[in-house]
Amino acid sequence: MTSELTIGFLPLVDACLPILAHEHGFAEEAGVSLRLVKDMSWATVLDRLLYGHSDAAHLVVPLAIATTLGRGRPAQPLAVPFVLGLNGNAVTLRPQLAQRVRPEGRIGEPAQVGAGLRKIVQERLAAGNPLRFGVVHRYSSHNYMLRYWLAACGIQPDRDVEITTVAPPFCADALAQGDVDGICVGEPWNSVAVEQGAGEIVLSTAQIWRRGVEKVLAMREPVLDEKRDAVEALIRALCRAGAHFVDPANWEQNAAILARPEYLDGSAELIRRAISDQLLIARGGALIHYPDFMFQYREAANFPWVSQAEWLYTQMVRWDSLQFDAGDAAKAARVFRPDVYRAALLGTGEPLPGASSKVEGSLAARTVVGTQQGAMMLEANSFFDGKVFDPHHIEGYLAGLP
């Protein structure tokens, strides 16, 4: 018997896997039918999840952890059995600023762009008009990636610049109006700003952390338990959607589906670019190819590594000025559910890593890893500043951050 799951999402390219699992019939074939509910803010996606309008949601990952830890509202335990993708965001600055910090015609190196930006930050601070950045949510990977990069470049996010929330559809407008000087947002919104001449891309977040965790499939823990079979079917369908999504033969068709009014309601051309790792960094320029700009499937990208959740907890401690708390760290770690992922995919052709946690940012080169099932090779995965996050030494890692 087919069961039904309702999934909330925001109109962003990285909502692709549930949409394609539904559109290509992968979900139905796996025995679960999907109802997709589009919203315009993360707050509403979360409300629908918490009050039972939806069973699962496409969610910015730090928000799943913040909700579990009761940041901003009473705590409700969420569970993440599947990562919807890695990276796919970019930093876009107003054109005159971008041209001062980025080499002509290509995206820069994070450290170099940061060094150039630091000069501008100092100028603007001295002029009493600090540089302003827009991110999509305070509990978003965009906010954490931007802050990580700024801090590692000697720019104190809370002292030297202002970071404010801007809804993705209004990012281009906010740049054009001068409300913000830069944005860190997902696609297609950087490209929309570029097309309008309101901004130019200087970095992709994949340069800050090569395999940074981005959106996840989040559920209320009790719902996961109650609908476990349907969720496991959904995970199998999402994997098939991932394989379909990264196949160049399907890019055109998938971009056209995602562009439809009921989904992203946007330009298929801009969506196809993001899917194919092509970036137009400045209006009128040439497209550049940045491999793995979006990372939706290879290397078991969808596996919820517990260490990713723990890294996110360190950033929450860092930017919310919290004290490290071993109990909270453990609660944050439990949000990610590799056990559910494994159970869903055992016996399929999908590779399953042997471990559920890893030292993040430690791979300088391609590495073969031990598996429970299938063969797996992980490519280089480092933070641009060379720091390494060992989940066994969270406090030491926190102490070593700028």
Residues forming contacts to another protein in the complex (CB under 8 A) are: 39-44, 47-48, 51-53, 72-74, 136-138, 164-167, 169-170
> Of the two residues 170 and 251, which places its CB atom closer to another protein in the complex?
170
Q: Give me the least distance between CB of 319 and another protein, in Å please.
A: 11
Q: Give me the least distance between CB of 394 and another protein, in Å please.
A: 25
Q: Give me the least distance between CB of 177 and another protein, in Å please.
A: 9
Q: Give me the least distance between CB of 283 and another protein, in Å please.
A: 25
> Of the two residues 74 and 128, which places its CB atom closer to another protein in the complex?
74
> Of the two residues 28 and 179, which places its CB atom closer to another protein in the complex?
179
Q: How far apart are CA 188 and CA 13, in angstroms?
A: 7
Q: Give me the least distance between CB of 48 and another protein, in Å please.
A: 7
> Of the two residues 322 and 364, which places its CB atom closer to another protein in the complex?
322
Say if CB 105 and CB 314 are below 8 A apart: no
Q: Give me the least distance between CB of 204 and another protein, in Å please.
A: 23
Q: Give me the least distance between CB of 42 and another protein, in Å please.
A: 5
> Of the two residues 48 and 147, which places its CB atom closer to another protein in the complex?
48
> Of the two residues 54 and 357, which places its CB atom closer to another protein in the complex?
54
Q: Give me the least distance between CB of 190 and another protein, in Å please.
A: 18
> Of the two residues 162 and 390, which places its CB atom closer to another protein in the complex?
162
> Of the two residues 32 and 65, which places its CB atom closer to another protein in the complex?
65
Q: How far apart are CA 283 and CA 275, in angstroms?
A: 19
Q: Give me the least distance between CB of 137 and another protein, in Å please.
A: 5
Tokens 């039904």 correspond to 4
HEC states along the chain? CCEEEEEEECCCHHHHHHHHHHHCCHHHHHCEEEEEEECCCHHHHHHHHHCCCCCEEEEEHHHHHHHHHCCCCCCCCEEEEEECCEECEEEEECHHHHHHHCCCCCCCCHHHHHHHHHHHHHHHHHCCCCCEEEECCCCCHHHHHHHHHHHHCCCCHHHHCEEEECCHHHHHHHHHCCCCCEEEEECCHHHHHHHCCCCEEEEEHHHHECCCECEEEEEEHHHHHHCHHHHHHHHHHHHHHHHHHHCHHHHHHHHHHHCCCCCCCCCHHHHHHHHCCEEECCCCCCEEECCCCEECCHHHCCCCCHHHHHHHHHHHHHHCCCCCCHHHHHHHHHHECHHHHHHHHCCCCCCEECCCCCCECCECCCEEECEEECCEEECCECECCCCCECHHHHHHHHHCCC
> Of the two residues 218 and 234, which places its CB atom closer to another protein in the complex?
218
